[in-house]
Amino acid sequence: MENIPNRRIPQSVTINDFLDEILIHILSFLPIKYVFRTSIISKRWVPLCYSLSDIRFDNDMA
C-alpha cells in the first residue's frame, strides 16, 4: 500500500471567526433594532453593537 501523508482536514469558517471590523461593517447595514437583536448570537457581539460609529435612525422601518 502507498504511503499517504497525514493531511489536516480544513475546519469550516463561521461568522464568529470574522474580524470585529468586518462584523461591524456588516452590522452597519442593518436597522438599529436588528443590530441589537444580533447580540443573542454571541456575547462577543454585544460590544460590537455599541461600537458602530455611524448609526442612522430611519422612521420608515417598523
What are the tens digits of pLDDT across the range 19-52?
Answer: 999 998 988 888 888 888 888 888 888 888 888 8
Q: How many domains does the chain have?
A: 1
Residue 58 in grid coordinates: 430611519
* Residue 45, in any domain of the structure: yes
Residue 34 in grid coordinates: 436588528
* Residue 12, in any domain of the structure: no
The reported pLDDT for the residue numbered 22 is: 92
The answer for residues whose C-beta is within 8 angstroms of residue 10's C-beta and 6 or more apart is none
Interatomic CA distance for residues 55 and 24, integer angstroms: 11
* Residue 56, in any domain of the structure: no
* Residue 21, in any domain of the structure: yes
38 neighbors 27 (Cβ within 8 angstroms):
yes
Domain containing residue 34:
17-50
* Residue 31, in any domain of the structure: yes
